[in-house]
Amino acid sequence: MALLEVEDLTVEFYTQEGVVTAVDGLSYSIERGEMFGVVGESGAGKSVTALSLMRLIERPGRITSGEIRFKDQNILEMTESGVRSIRGSEIAMVFQDAQTALNPVYTVGEQISEAIRHHLDYDDHAAKERAIQLLDTVNIPDAESRYSDYPHEFSGGMQQRAVIAMALSCDPELLICDEPTTALDVTIEAQILAEIEELAEEFDTAVQLITHDLGVIAEICDRVMVMYAGKPVEKAPVEELYYDPKHPYTVGLMSSIPRVGDNRDRLQTIPGTMPDLVELPPGCSFHPRCPFAEESCSRTEPSLTNVETGQADHGDHLAACLEYTGGLTGELDYEVVVEQTDAVEKPNQLGDDQNV
């Protein structure tokens, strides 16, 4: 049994423009201790998925179907108090903006102690000891004296570290990180990602890491799910996805990763924008932006398929493209070049002729 099993999750927002289907029949699972990445452009439904796990979707939104089983219990059928006891203790969340997660009028240390007292049966002294220990674990220098600092006395990177310490304070089994490093500069970003990875291993915590940057996923994740317009379009072990992406959208995302040691300007975005979620294009939602699209792509909606066997939704590497069910007459004609650099082996880019 996986730690988390999401099955056929659909989340809708009832707006003046119509019903926005932010998440559409989504299924995935996360094993205990696994680092699971969720990637996609803005509006793909990544945050709505994460909020659903904590049952934090607010009006005008509603979870309209599906099951979310955490340790075999369906979160969507629990009482509010049942969910509250899971939130922050068994499932914790770190958001992009550390400032909004920290209350400016309390010291950083008090806030972590409070979280510990709230979820665990610790007295004041023991909670303070554990908070200092956690600040030290996330590499806040001189943790004992920094315990009494207010959030504004911390740098952005230290604030995010403190938020991670708070999230880990109750030893959660699942940590959801929603764009945890987007607001930080690249050096700090690398440090924080390495810390999340180290801590997750030390505490044996599973992580759902949400980002729009495939490079971030490649750093620390085991498996990855690529989302587009509320649906998964590719799922794969991270190395396979990185070296051998199978969905044209993933290939497009890859070409927007800046490469280490590469001074040519390769930062491109995928032409076009995410479709209107009130009225999705017929067939494959990505077809209007796909350089390989054929007439059939506007008629048939592809489902997740094993890229090797063509079997429906079965196996490690799945992609939702008609290519894998024999529905295309042409080929997906792109190339991913793997280039050796001094530091790490990183795949390079699409063939220059394909501007996906």
Q: Which residues of the chain form contacts with ligand ATP (CB under 6 A)?
A: 13, 15, 20, 22, 40, 42-48, 60-61, 212, 277
Closest CB to ligand ATP among residues 44, 293: 44
> What is the residue type of 39?
V
Closest CB to ligand ATP among residues 107, 256: 256
Q: What angle do CA 110, 113, 117 make, to 5 degrees?
A: 135
How do 18-30 and 4-15 pair as beta strands?
antiparallel
- What's the closest the beta carbon of residue 229 comes to ligand ATP, in angstroms? 9
Q: How far is CA 298 from CA 226, 293, 348, in A?
A: 21, 8, 31
Contacts of 167 (CB under 8 A, 6+ apart): 92, 93, 94, 175
Closest CB to ligand ATP among residues 61, 151: 61
User: How far is 301 from 291, CA to CA, in rounded Å?
Assistant: 17
Closest CB to ligand ATP among residues 116, 176: 176
- What's the closest the beta carbon of residue 228 comes to ligand ATP, in angstroms? 10
Name the residue among 22, 159, 11, 4 with its Cα closest to residue 68. Answer: 4
Closest CB to ligand ATP among residues 165, 277: 277
Place of tokens 């059928």: 77
- What's the closest the beta carbon of residue 227 comes to ligand ATP, in angstroms? 7
Q: What angle do CA 302, 307, 311 make, to 5 degrees?
A: 70
User: How far is 232 from 319, CA to CA, in rounded Å?
Assistant: 8
What is the token pair recorded at 286?
A: 């990505």
Name the residue among 11, 10, 29 with its Cα closest to residue 313. Answer: 29
- What's the closest the beta carbon of residue 295 comes to ligand ATP, in angstroms? 28
Closest CB to ligand ATP among residues 59, 125: 59
C-alpha of 159 from chain center: 20
User: How far is 196 from 55, CA to CA, in rounded Å?
Assistant: 24
- What's the closest the beta carbon of residue 125 comes to ligand ATP, in angstroms? 40
Closest CB to ligand ATP among residues 133, 273: 273
Strand partners, 340: 345
What is the token pair recorded at 36?
A: 């699971």
- What's the closest the beta carbon of residue 45 comes to ligand ATP, in angstroms? 4
- What's the closest the beta carbon of residue 212 comes to ligand ATP, in angstroms? 5
